[in-house]
Structures are given as C-alpha cells and as structure tokens.
Structure 1
Amino acid sequence: MKKRFVVISLLFVFGFFFGSWALTSQASASAEIKLDQGKWCPEVKARLETLIAQNAGKGKKVIFDFDNTLICRDIGEATFAAMAGEKKLTLKNIPLEITPPFTLNGKRISPDNAENITMFYEDFLSATKHQPGEACPYSNGYAWVVQIMAGMTPADILSFTEKAYAKGIARQDSENPNLQETKINGYRQPFFYPEMTDLAGLFLKNGYDVYVISASNIWTVRWMVIKNLNPLIQARHGEGLGIAPDHVIGVSVLLEDTRTGELHKDPLLVRTNKAYANMNLEELANYKLTSQIVYPLTGYFGKVANIIKFITSDRPFLIAGDSPNDHPMLNMAENRLWITRLEKMGYQEKTVKLIDNSLPGEWLLQPVLYKKSPGFVSSQADLDQSFSTKPSSKKTPDAVVQFLKKFGKLQKF
C-alpha cells in the first residue's frame, strides 16, 4: 500500500513538473515567435504569432498570392508595361489569332482600333463581365498577357521584370506621401511589403512549407522570389531560408527547348533542371515560349486546382490573398489572411459575402493602401496620417473601413 502511494506521488510530481515545463516551453516558444511591429493591426499580428507558435515544426502548408499580397502592386502587369513601353510588345507584333475583337459597353474593340496594347489589355480584362454569373472575368486576360510573349525566352522576360522592379525603388512612395507614384509606362511599380517579407520568413523559420501561387507569368514571379524575396528573408531570419523554386507556381506556356525541339512544361522542368530552376540566364535563354497555355491556369478556381495537383489535397493551414481571384483558394484554407485594399470597395463587398458563406476557419483582415502612401495601415489614426496632406483622397478608404465595420469587420481598427 505504501509502495503504491509512493509511485502515485512520484507520478503526480513528475506530471506536475513536466506539465509546468511544457507550459513554460510553449510560452517561451510563443514569446520568441514575434513579427516586427511594422504597421500590422495589433490584433492581426498577435493572432498570427499565436498561430505560428501553436503549429510550428509540423510542415504545415502556407500559401501566398504574390501581386498585392507579398508585394504592393502588380509585377506581372508592370513587366508587361515595360515590354509595351519599349515596343517589345505591340498590337502589330503579337499573335492575332489569340487577340479577338469584342464589344465592350457598346464600343467595338479590336487590335486595329485600340489606342495601344495596354489599353487593349485593360479592356480585354472586362470583355466577359456583361454575362450574368461571370465569376472569373479576368482569366482570359491573365492567359493572353503571357500567350502574346510567344517567341521570347524566359531570359528576355526577366530583363523587363528587372526594369519594372528597379530594385524596389517604389518603396519611396510609402516614405514620402508628397511624391508622385513611381510608374513604368503608366503602371505602378511594385515593392515588397516588409511586413509580409517578415511573415513569410517567420513561417519558414518555424518549419512551415511555404508556397507562392500567382496569376502573373511564372518566370517573373519566380525571379522575384528567388533573387529578391529570399535574400530579404535571409537578411532578417538567417542564412539558408527561402522559398524553393518549385514552390513558386504561376501562369506558363509550353516551352520549346531550342537545342532539341522538345516541348516542356514549367511545373515539371523546374523539378528536373537545376540551372533552369535557379534562374540561370544562360539556361533560360535556351527555351522559347509558345502560345500554348499550360493548364490548369493559375487564376480563380485554377489556383485551387494547382494547389490540389502540386501542393496538397487537404485544406492548407493558411492562405493569404487580396482579390476575388484568390477567393476560391482562400475558401479552402483553415486560416485566411486577407490583404484588405482600402481603395477597392468592390473587392471588399465580395469578400464580406464570401466570409459569411465560407468553410469554417479564421479570417484575419489587414488593411493596406496601394496607390498614394502605399503600405500597411495599422489603425484609423494611421490612415488619417497617411492622407494628412491630401485628405480629399481618403474618401474611398474611409468608406471601405465604414463598410467593413458595418458588417462586423475591422472593429478594433
């Protein structure tokens, strides 16, 4: 009887100390997992830190959209604009068989009467919006803007991406609200949100399996990740961290290897050709783009298809996005980080409907600006400060905030 009492006592003591150690370790781990303050909404930052700490080291899948999510603005469109500005792409030198005429708002649009190729593209994005039930209006535009690059090599594309990114020069727009927006041929130039760079690095550092999926051309996005994002992550979180080349998924076309005449698909080639995967320009110059899209296209529900095909058939742990193009994949995630563009009322109206009808899981809303004074916005006071020199420009952002609060979102903003 005495022996049993001793054993039970020892088990109790061991359990008490083990439990205390576990709680202390968990609290310690949680304390170590901290995002830089930046301009996060405090409650979003705190919740992300908790989620990361509670699920660290398990290899869970985290997926980021790229344009207007990891970066502010759109690198795919900026690259296209750079090509158009230097006449690499014009309405006279692109495949007309994939450039159909159409009627938009009663006006006939065609390569013959469009003012220029960028104007045609902007109209083409809206070509099917007139149809009731159209949930994926930009899909054909996402495909077309890559198809018309037929005949180029990935190396050719990257020379224009480098000009469009310009080492993140547009970051200056967020530092001085009096500056004109940094543009290339009329399109805003992008820069990395420092808060998102930090977040991606923190996920990698804590054992998550991180992917990027984008509706921009794959070579531009992969170059941005491998050559620009990964070094930023390593500078903040340590050497060796980074998103793998085959973890970057985007719009692509069949590639012809000019040495052999064989056709290749990017999602497979990136897994078998190390030089190609690492964006070696000499290797990339050996492949010529055709006009044949590789399916599934990484737009709307095609993002879900690519996730199932290349990442997981289960619900990913967290997905981050900013537009209705991301809604289908956001819906399948266990946790969602919604980059809330305060200049986009239509996006927020659609998102509120999705949130109310989505699969179970959390939605974290982080407001941002992408036009004037671009960057994260932590609070109403921060928003007011961003437009202190031009308060009239704050009309739409204020309206978006009030709309979201009306539906129970951004209550602490």
Structure 2
Amino acid sequence: MSDKRMRRLAALGLGAALAMTSLTTAFAADKAATAKVTVDKQPAAVQGYEIDGSNYYKLRDLAEILDFGLSWDAASSTISIDSTSSYKADATKLIQGNWAPATRARIQAVIDANANKGKYVVFDFDNTSVIFDIQEALLVYQIENLEFKMTPEQLPDVLATGIPDLKKELGKSLDGKTVTPETLIADITSDYTWLYENYKGMKGTKDLSYIHATNQYQDFAAKLRYMYSSIGDNFDHAVSYPWVTYLFTGMTPDEVQKLATASHTYWANYGRYAEETWTSPIEQPGQSGVLSVSFVTGLTFTDELLDLYHTLMANGIDVYIVSASPIDTVLAASKVMGYDVPEDHIFAMRNKLDENGVYINEYDYDWGGEGKYAQTQGPGKSTIITNFIAPKYAGAGPLMVFGDSAGDWNMMTDWMDEGDTQLGVIFNRYRKPSDPIWEGSVEASKTIGQADAKFVLQGRDENTGELRPSEKSIMLGETEEVLVRPAS
C-alpha cells in the first residue's frame, strides 16, 4: 500500500456516515449534501446525500477517488475495505496506477483481444514483477541472521560447487592481496567455524547482537557477499546463477520458504532504497585481505504488478513465472505478497533433495523427468517454456513476456516470428548495448503509442521504489530521467 493511500484513509477515518455503497430502500435521500469534499486539498466531485440530518457518501465513489479496495459479500451483507489494494470497477481492466500510459494501453489492448482464448503469458520475477532482486535481498538477510544449516566441514565443498577454476584471480584486495575463490573459501570457512561454535543459533551461547560486533562475523559477511558478486562478474551465468542456491544446503523446502517469507516481508517494509557497503575488518585479513562489496537494499512488490497478474487471470489468460531465483524464494513471494500464481505455474532454480528431504549442493536437471529441467536463466528459460509450458497449449509460445534484462531476451523473442508472442514488456533498467534487451528497448522507444508495437518500456524510480507514469526511469542515486542508452 502506498504511503499516500495510508494517509488518506487515516485522515478520512471512514466513519459511520460513510457506510453506504448505494442508496436503496433502506433510506430515503432527503436532498443532496452541501458539505464540501476535498482530496489532497483539491475539490472532489463526490455526490453526497443528506439523510435525517447526516451526510452520506457512496463508498464506491470514495474508493475510486482515494484508491482503496472495496468488495461486497451479498451472502453476509458485508462490506469489506482493503487498504492494501487499489480500487477496480472492472476486474478485467488494469488500474492506471503509475503505468506509462502508452505501455498500459498496449498491454490492455493485447489482453482485450485475447481474453478467454486459451492463451498464456510469462513473467520474469526479479526486477520485473518486483523492484530489485528477491534472492540478492534474501542472501543479505540470510547472512545478517546467520540462517545456515551447513556444518563447517560441509561449507568448503558447498562454496566450491560448480566453480571451474578455484585459482582464478577475481581481483585485488584493498591491501593488495590477490583474491581467488580458493582464498575466499578459506577465509569464509575459518570465520564460519568460529561463528558455528559461538552463535547460539548454531552450537554456541552468544546472541546475534554480540556476534554482529565480532571481527569474525564482519569478515564472514563481507567476504561471502563479495564472493557472490565476484563469481557473477568472473564466470558464466551457468556457474553464478545456481551458486547462491547451494547456500540452502541442509534446509528443507519449507525451511527455505519460511526464511524467504521473512526476508521478503522485512525488505518490503524496510522503506529505503540505497547502495550499502560492507568492508571486512583490517584485523581479520586472512588469505584474501581486506575486501569491500556494495549492494542495493529494499524491495517493492508494486500495486501495478500485483494488479496486472490478477487482471490477466480475470481475463482467462494463464500466468506463469520463469525466474532465475531459487524456486522456494519465488514461491514464498507469490504466496505471501499476493501474486497468487499456482505453484505448478512457477519455474525457477531447483536443487536436488537427499533421502531426508533436505537440499544438497547439486542442481536438479532431472526435475520433472528425463533431464528436461534447464537452468532457468537465459536460453534455459525458453527451454523451460518448450518442455513444460507450451505443450499445454498445443505447442504455442507465450502471448506476452515481461522482463528486464538479457536473461529474459530469449523467451521474449523466440516465439515472436511465429506470431505467438505479440508483445514484449521491458521494465526499463537503462541497460547497456551489450545487453541483448537493449535492442528491444531501442525499438520500444521508437514505437511509443503505436497500436502494433512489439515492445514497450515501463519506467521506474529506483530511489522511491515505484513505477513511473513514463517510459523513462530514474536510476538509484540519480535525479535525471533516462530512456535508452546511446549505442556508444
């Protein structure tokens, strides 16, 4: 719910004199109300009625102006007000919200032309269905709360999983040491061993506030987060994307979903979007030396995207998610944050389970049988659609694909030439020309408002965690709005 909606509802109070959804035979309207109604200090055109000396207004009129959810249960004669959702007079139409008008119009046109015709759409999740990245946020939450189930003996093998060259130089430390996966694993394991023996959430007696003040924790936190970033920067996505999922080794799917739910809730309520920096202590240099790493905090599960999911469903268009985040992380977001996508419509990174039902550090290419489960990133997203989704629709590709970066470009375009995919919706992160989705962004920028546009852009403000009513975005820490990067 937006802060503005919260303030409006609090100021309104929703007293008894407003408890009418319609004027029926229960009351007779004596005359039109003379009281003035203002919203944000502006006059509001709300028809009121004076009945027995009191002023009454229709809740549906107020819901539309103040933008809160409203429903009526005829069976129990109950009016329900939902301050966490937006007002919708028609479930099949998108709310205006902060959509870029031309983008909203194009999406709605595709929905209207294909409603109830057995079609489906596919969403990416991170930086598309949510602003920022749910798994990167979860990694920070997991570190800060020391939510790990591995023993110190297991950790080195987990950290090394999938890395083809443990001696590869990843960079130099602040004090001039050469950093490699091997040196990072040694330092992180040493720190973790101390934490494991001392933290009361593991085998020790010290509480989290005590642990956070120690050099061992600060070194562990900075170097584990650094390792995640450096693997992404130095190795193929086939190495880096599944690597972070191996940190769930020893947990059950239910435990990971519970952890993810706590993380999503925490970051959604964090209320701040900024770049944070962790630096390891000089007193604990280890083999890797003193390291510093920066990352973005905060998540926004926007009203516009939640509404889009439900509008598609209300039009009989099936919704699927294909995400490079771990499956339990996405499942938790769908369940708790209100996307309400069926579990069998969600495809994401999956690890194997052992005979006790706990995760091991091995990707599950055999999920669903016959080795058809690809990594859910880049071309693998199209493989997932081909193997698991399209067969339900006579082999047809998705009607629309929603994404933000290179990892979504294949599934956004692989069925366009065949005419199956009518629209690619790109959430504008001002990507570089080296990112394939830049090509779609350029085309979208040239066809804004065109009825047959193949691509559309949707802007966002990363400083406020909101969509913008424009194709242009404002990047984190900046004030200038931007559309598409120049070619050089």
Same fold (TM over 0.5): yes
CA contact (8 A) 2:433 2:439 kept: no
Aligned to 1:322: 404
Q: How many percent of aligned residue pairs carry the same amino acid?
A: 23
Q: Quick one: which of 459, 471, 474 aligns to 1:367?
A: 459
Aligned-pair CA distance for 1:355: 6.2
Q: Deviations over 1:110-162 (max 9, x none)?
A: 2534651111010000113xxxxxxxx43311111112322111222223212
Aligned to 2:183: 112
Alpha-carbon distance between aligned partners in 2 of 1:337 and 1:155, rounded to the nearest angstrom: 33
Aligned-pair CA distance for 1:251: 0.2
Relative to structure 1, is the Cα distance of residues 181 and 109 closer, same or farther in structure 2, using a 3 angstrom cutoff? closer
Aligned-pair CA distance for 1:227: 2.8
> Residue 425 of structure 2 aligns to a residue in which SS?
strand
Q: Deviations over 1:305-347 (max 9, x none)?
A: 1111110142210110011111111112331111112xx4427
Aligned to 1:157: 256
Alpha-carbon distance between aligned partners in 1 of 2:277 and 2:115, rounded to the nearest angstrom: 40
Alpha-carbon distance between aligned partners in 1 of 2:442 and 2:478, rounded to the nearest angstrom: 30
Q: Quick one: which of 347, 351, 373 aligns to 1:249?
A: 347
Aligned-pair CA distance for 1:33: 3.8
Q: Quick one: which of 201, 212, 224 aligns to 2:310?
A: 201
Gaps spanning 5+ residues in structure 2: where?
1-89, 173-177, 188-221, 279-293, 366-373, 415-420, 445-451
Aligned to 2:243: 144
CA RMSD of aligned residues (A): 3.5
Q: Give the aligned residue type for 2:470.
A: S
Q: Give the aligned residue type for 2:469.
A: S
Q: Deviations over 1:227-283 (max 9, x none)?
A: 3224xxxxxxxxxxx42111011001111242xxxxxxxxxxxxxxxxxxxxxxxxx
Alpha-carbon distance between aligned partners in 2 of 1:323 and 1:402, rounded to the nearest angstrom: 13
Alignment of 1:42-81 (within 5 A): 42-81=101-140
Aligned to 2:387: 309
Higher relative contact order (CA 8 A, sep 6+): 1
Alpha-carbon distance between aligned partners in 2 of 1:172 and 1:38, rounded to the nearest angstrom: 19
Aligned-pair CA distance for 1:208: 0.6
CA contact (8 A) 1:317 1:334 kept: yes
Aligned-pair CA distance for 1:58: 1.0
Alpha-carbon distance between aligned partners in 2 of 1:54 and 1:183, rounded to the nearest angstrom: 48
Alignment of 1:13-412 (within 5 A): 33-89=92-148, 93-95=155-157, 96-98=159-161, 100-104=166-170, 107-113=178-184, 115-128=222-235, 137-166=236-265, 169-170=268-269, 172-173=271-272, 187-230=296-339, 242-258=340-356, 287-295=357-365, 296-312=374-390, 313-332=395-414, 333-341=421-429, 344-346=430-432, 350-354=436-440, 362-370=454-462, 372-379=463-470, 393-395=478-480, 398=481, 400-401=482-483, 403=485
Relative to structure 1, is the Cα distance of residues 216 and 180 closer, same or farther in structure 2, using a 3 angstrom cutoff? closer
Aligned-pair CA distance for 1:224: 1.1
Point out the more displaced range, 207-216 or 310-319: 310-319
Aligned to 1:27: none
Aligned to 2:203: none
Alpha-carbon distance between aligned partners in 1 of 2:425 and 2:151, rounded to the nearest angstrom: 39
> Residue 116 of structure 1 aligns to a residue in which SS?
helix
Q: Give the aligned residue type for 1:292.
A: E
Relative to structure 1, is the Cα distance of residues 199 and 103 closer, same or farther in structure 2, using a 3 angstrom cutoff? same
Residue-pair matches, total: 312
Relative to structure 1, is the Cα distance of residues 361 and 140 closer, same or farther in structure 2, using a 3 angstrom cutoff? farther
Q: Give the aligned residue type for 1:378.
A: P
CA contact (8 A) 1:182 1:189 kept: no
